[in-house]
Structure formats: structure tokens, C-alpha cells
Amino acid sequence: MGCACEKPTASYTEFRTSALGIDETHGKNAEVSIQQCKLCQRIWIRYAFNTDVTPESGKWYKGMVSKKDRPQITPENTLEYLESLEWYVYGGEFFGNTTAFGVGEIDLD
């Protein structure tokens, strides 16, 4: 790991964020955004949603995106993209506001 943005504990303040859109394909109305590390300029894709109507159900997942892959990523294929990565970072209220590394299929429930 070279930059702080690669650590699960990286703060949102370490990134510039812009909205990419909403993924409605899984019924979660997931907010998808692009984040760029202010220090190393790496690009990340972030997928955030609530599993039900309570604030404690919030989950988010994010993974690094190469500059060549970025133009092909849409809100609707972000989940598939994240699941294809060697690793991603996840967290949110659902996980007790802790963050960790994940790999493979993302649990939408």
C-alpha cells in the first residue's frame, strides 16, 4: 500500500467526489460516485445504499478504477465492476461504521 487512500480507514475528506448517478437495477437506489484521491490522484468508484429504510442499514463499497476503465463504468454496471476487482473497501452504519477489505460478491441485503 502506497497511499493513505488505499487503507480502509481513509476519510472522505481525502477525496474529491462527483456524482455519477443512481443505480436502480437492484431496487436499492444506490448512489454511485467517482472519488479522486487528493494526494495521489487515483480514481475510485463508490457504491452506497441502504438495505431498508433505517439509517443504520447504510452500506458502501468502493474500489480503484483505472483511467482506461473509467469511461465504461455506469451506475448500472458499478456493482459488477466492484465484484470483479481483486479487492475493494466497504463500510457504513450497517457494519458499525467500521471499514474493511472485501473481495467477490457484494451482499445487497
Instruction: pLDDT tens for the chain, 109 residues: list them.
Output: 578 888 777 777 889 999 999 999 888 899 999 999 999 999 999 999 987 777 678 899 999 999 899 999 999 999 999 999 999 999 999 988 888 999 999 988 8
Burial of 49 (0-12, 13-18, 19+ CB in 10 A): buried
Give the separation between CA 8 and CA 27, rounded to whole angstroms.
Answer: 27
Q: Which of 44, 39, 35 is nearest to 16 (CA)?
A: 35
pTM value > 0.85: yes
